Every structure is written in C-alpha cells, then in structure tokens.
Structure 1
Amino acid sequence: MACVLAEHAKLKRTLARGLAIAAPVCAVLLSLFVLANLDTLAASKGMPRWQAYLDTLLRIWASFLLPIMATLQAVLIAQLEHANRQWKYLLALPVSRTSLYMAKSVNLFGLLLLAHVVLWVLALVACAAFGLAPGALGEAAVFLSRQLGATFAAALALAAVQLLVSIRLESFVGAIGVGLVATLVALLGAGTMGQAAGYFPWSMPIHALQPVSPAWMAGAVLAAVLVTALGAQVLRRMQVH
C-alpha cells in the first residue's frame, strides 16, 4: 500500500491523470458529429436514438481512444524512472520489486477506471443535454454501465502488456511505437481478424462491445493478471546499469 500511494503521488509529475479526463472528453466531442444524422443511423440499426448515439460513442472510445490513452499512460508511468535514471535508487529500497511493479499496475488500472467513470458521466450528460433519451435515461445508464464495464475489463490486458513493454524498453519513442503500431493493426485488421480479434489485446476492448460469454470476460481479466505477474518477474530479474 505504501508503494501504491508513493506511485500515486508521483503521477502528479506526469500527464497520466490529465489523459484520464481528456480522452473521455475527446470521445464525447467526436461523437457529437453523429447527431446530424442520428435519426437515419438509429433507423438503420433499429435502435432508439439514445442507444444509436451511445453505440457510436462507445465504438469511438474502444477502437481508438482507449488503446491510445492506455498506451500513453503506461509509458508515462514507466518513464518516471527511465527518464530520471531512478531505477537504481528505486530498486535499492528495502521493498520487494514485485511490490514496486504491482504499485505501478494498480495505479495504471485505477487511471483506466477513472477514465471510464468520467466517460459514463459525460455520456449521460450529453444524452440529457440533447434530449436523446426522454424518459429512458435510466435505461441508458444501465446500458452504458454494462458496456463500459466490459471495455474496462477487456482493456486491463492491453494496459498490462503495455506496462510490461514500457518497463522493459527504456526508449520513450520505442514504447509508444509498440502501442501505436498495435492499435493500427487492430483498427486496420478488424475486418480480417475474425475470432482472433478477441485475443489480440489492442482489439479486445472493441470486441467486448459485442455479446461475449462470461468465460471470455473472465479470460480477459485472467490474462491481465498473468501478464502483470510476468511483468513482476521481469522486473525482479531486470539488470539496471
């Protein structure tokens, strides 16, 4: 817990917290462009206006903004030590390396949760402000909670992989490059991946918006746990020069 609190305090020196607010705001702003053709979109999908709007918003979020945000947050958390050459000092402390890695993971997952909560609030505010769900705001809130809960659980594996990459790669550009390339692969290959999209970390959030089995969701969370455990082992054996 002391490590978690220390990492939380160190986040004040990064943009990671700001990204947890800025990314949901950007998602909502981008989704407003669909309002001009919302009636046509709702009719084509056979959905109420509020559901068609939220479905578009969630796809913008899960396909692009969420993976990019998670990538940047993981890199920023790792760069606290890489950029300032603090690994020697940090690893010399009388604290297990596993605790240090878990503290970074907990803070990263907490930032993801914060971003999803902010998006939940902003999306409902948008629905109310534009009169998209008259008399159905509660139904919209339940739908949004279910879908955002699914994208959050699916994004944990992505965040865990990106944190491991960011810890292992000292280069800021290299770590971001891995996330950007993987996000582009997920975007451009979404139509050709088929069922494999459900097992590629960067496409798992958008895959989670489809009806998925409880076993798949449990597997996504388990994958995040296993990758985090692997990352802790990598840090335990990492040589610092």
Structure 2
Amino acid sequence: MLHRYLFAEILKLRRSLALMLCVAAPACVAVLGTVIAFDRKTPVQLDTFALGGPGIWSFVMLPLAVTALSVLMAQMEHGSRNWNHLLTLPRARPNVFLAKAIVMLGLVAMMSALLWAFMLVGAVVLTALHPAGVIGAVDTARLARVLALMTVCSALVAMLQLWVALAYRSFVVPLVFGIGGTFVAISTIGAAKAAWFPWLLATGVLATRPEVRQMGLLLGGIGGLAVLGAMLAHLSRREA
C-alpha cells in the first residue's frame, strides 16, 4: 500500500514548484562559487573551489531549501484542503505521511547529487575560461562523500520541518520555523554548543575534529528517524 502513496506523491511534484526548487537551489550555490572564483586574480585551486560549494550549501542554502521544500509539499494538501479526502482512503494513516517523508528525503539527496554535478561543471568552466588558470583537479570521490554525509546529517532538520509544515495549515508557521532556525544557526556558528544545533549538523561534516562529524551523523541520522517516528504517531491521529 505504501508504494501507491509514494507513486501519488511523485506525481504531485509535477503540479508544484518543488522540482524547480531542487534544481535552482544547488545551481545558485554553484554559480555563486564560480563567480567568486572568477573574481580572484590568482590561479584557482580546483579542489578548494569544489569543497567551497558544500560549505555554502550546508550553512545557508540547504536549511532554506529544506524549509521551502517542506512548505511546498505540505501545501499540496493544505492549499486544496485535500486532507478531508486523503485521510479517508484505505490505510492512509500513516502511509501518506511516510510517503511524503520518503519523497522529501529523496529530493534532498537529489539536490546534493545536482550540487556535485554543478560544481564539476563550474570546475570545467574555470579550467577553460579563468584568466589566471587553475591548479590541480577536483577530487570527485571526496566531494561526493562530503555531500552524501551532509544529506544524512540534514535528515533531522528535514523531518522537523516537514512535521511542522504538515501539522499547521498556514505556510507562515513552517517558514518562520525554518528561517528562524537558520538565523540562529548563523548567529551561533563557532559557539561551544553550536555543533549540536540541528541546523548546523550538516556543516559539521567539514569540521576538522572527527568527533564533531560523528556527532552530526548520529544526531542527524538517528535523530531524523526518531523525529520521523514521532511525526507519524502524531499526524496519524489527525482528524480527516
């Protein structure tokens, strides 16, 4: 039964801006990084350039993209008041909510994969057109590994965002929740306990201390599963 709800959620993406967001968000990061690299008067170290993309991505664009994505996915039902019909379908609880969570995590992973590809395109453009030239080459395996770990670490904040977006009919609540979390993350970066903050777990992948990276993976991955379970238990009691 779950596969039917998954298929339905994937079909709904065609009627929303979610797919456009999933392309535009990583593209903006890659374009910004490439423009900044072109502004340099010295040769560009390609590996450093490539890893700069995940840095910007995890710190700012990923949490904002997750916020917008959760709102878009929830408003598919809230906007048309589709819950009244959807929750009366056979085994809709908790399958419909689980399907949305799986699709959202899949879209986050897709954005990471696209960022990997876009950063490689940026490296090719720099190699061909940068006046001062480039140094070295992109470690594609390392870039893929970093982005994959960031995807795991972002599971907690993604599930928190989706829970809030599905629980409240108004799109303002999850927007304020996500933007507020991102603002707090930016304000507290570098603080002693900042590494524990859900919005900064993905950034911890780039930390020099291995314990910070391990904590991000544990909190992001296991915490994301725990929040998913709590969300399913809570929303399954929702009135149709």
TM over 0.5: yes
Give 1:70 shift. Answer: 0.7
* Equivalent in the alignment of 1:222: 222
Alignment of 1:1-241 (within 5 A): 1-35=3-37, 36-37=39-40, 39=42, 49-131=45-127, 136-137=137-138, 140-192=139-191, 194=192, 196-211=193-208, 212-213=210-211, 215-216=214-215, 217-240=217-240
Secondary structure of 1:237's aligned partner: coil
- CA distance in 1 between counterparts of 2:98 and 2:150 reads 22
Question: For the Cα contact (< 8 Å) 1:63–1:203, is it kept in 2?
Answer: yes
Change (3 A) 1:185 1:135: closer
Question: For the Cα contact (< 8 Å) 1:15–1:76, is it kept in 2?
Answer: yes
- CA distance in 1 between counterparts of 2:41 and 2:159 reads 36
Change (3 A) 1:2 1:38: farther
Secondary structure of 1:76's aligned partner: helix
Give the letter aligned to residue 51 of structure 2: D
- CA distance in 2 between counterparts of 1:38 and 1:191 reads 30
Higher helix share: 1
Secondary structure of 1:108's aligned partner: helix
Question: For the Cα contact (< 8 Å) 2:71–2:162, is it kept in 1?
Answer: yes
TM-score (norm 2): 0.89
Give 1:177 shift. Answer: 1.1
Question: For the Cα contact (< 8 Å) 2:109–2:148, is it kept in 1?
Answer: no
Aligned CA-pair RMSD: 1.9
Give 1:135 shift. Answer: 5.9
Give the letter aligned to residue 6 of structure 2: V
- CA distance in 1 between counterparts of 2:221 and 2:41 reads 34
Deviations 1:54-104 (A, max 9, x none): 232221111111111111111111111111111111100012411111100
Question: For the Cα contact (< 8 Å) 1:154–1:205, is it kept in 2?
Answer: yes
Change (3 A) 1:29 1:58: same
Question: For the Cα contact (< 8 Å) 1:38–1:52, is it kept in 2?
Answer: no
TM-score (norm 1): 0.88
Over 4 Å off, 4+ runs: 132-135
Give the letter aligned to residue 68 of structure 1: L
Give the letter aligned to residue 231 of structure 2: G
Give 1:148 shift. Answer: 0.5
Question: For the Cα contact (< 8 Å) 2:50–2:120, is it kept in 1?
Answer: no
Secondary structure of 2:236's aligned partner: helix
Alignment size in residue pairs: 229
Question: For the Cα contact (< 8 Å) 1:3–1:100, is it kept in 2?
Answer: yes
Question: For the Cα contact (< 8 Å) 1:38–1:53, is it kept in 2?
Answer: no
* Equivalent in the alignment of 1:46: none
Unaligned residue ranges in structure 2 (runs of 5+):
128-132
Question: For the Cα contact (< 8 Å) 1:4–1:107, is it kept in 2?
Answer: yes
